[in-house]
Amino acid sequence: MKKIGMIHTTPATIDSLNQLMKEIVGDVEVINFLDDSILKDMRDRHNVDFVRERWISYAKILGQLGADAVLSACSTVGAFAEEADRILDVPVYRIDDAMCSAAVEMGEVVSVFATLASTLEPTVELIRRKAHKAGKQIKVNTVLVEGAYAALMEGHKDVHDAKIKALVEQYLPESDVAVLAQASMASAVDLVGEDAKKMLTSPKMGIEKLRADLNL
């Protein structure tokens, strides 16, 4: 049986990503690591070098535990996942990599939505990097959904999703594609209706890429 390690920075992604892993990959053992202090440290730009060191150490430990791959469930620390992939023996994946590739393919005006400000810059950077590699000129809008993450952490998922829906519907008419930068935002797509075809979320796409790369 294959073994996949997942590193989370919020408890909000654990159940949903484990369920998706079962649905998409099937018979696989998942090891979950959670460090919910990372988001606060990244938001405050506090001890970022130490955040980097401990995130990479989590990936290294997962490799030592026999993981065939490690999936970063958090877009904010995507750069750390890329570095870990370069220096460790175990392959390390950004959950948002496939999503950002698809965003560049879908159009020239990309609107990136996040419920945490710390996620916007890493996501935009990855999209721009992929556009440059593809030789494509794009415009990127960034939208912070104020109060949504706090609502989610307080158990008000309906409020969280509604706040995202309201802003997506505001910006979507002038966008070729809407990117929900955090894995924890994916459930909001269900509220949007027909326009959801212009929206991208990372969980399913990220896990499908991992499955394809590992031939699972």
Are 2-94+204-214 and 97-202 in the same CATH fold? Answer: yes
Average confidence (pLDDT) over 118-134: 96
The answer regarding whether domain 2-94+204-214 maps to CATH 1.10.260.40 reads no
> What is the reported pLDDT for 216?
81
**pTM (predicted TM-score):** 0.92
Spatial contact of 208 and 24, defined as CB atoms under 8 Å apart: yes
* Per-domain boundaries in the chain: 2-94+204-214, 97-202
pLDDT, position 212: 95
Q: Which two tokens stand for residue 144?
A: 């912070």
| Strands, E assignment, 62-137 | 69-72, 92-94, 109-114
Give the model confidence (pLDDT) of 42-68 as tens digits: 988 878 999 999 999 999 999 999 999
Instruction: Give me the CATH code for the 97-202 domain, please.
Output: 3.40.50.1860
CA–CA separation, 101 and 156 (whole Å) = 31
pLDDT at residue number 74: 95
Give the pLDDT of residue 28.
94
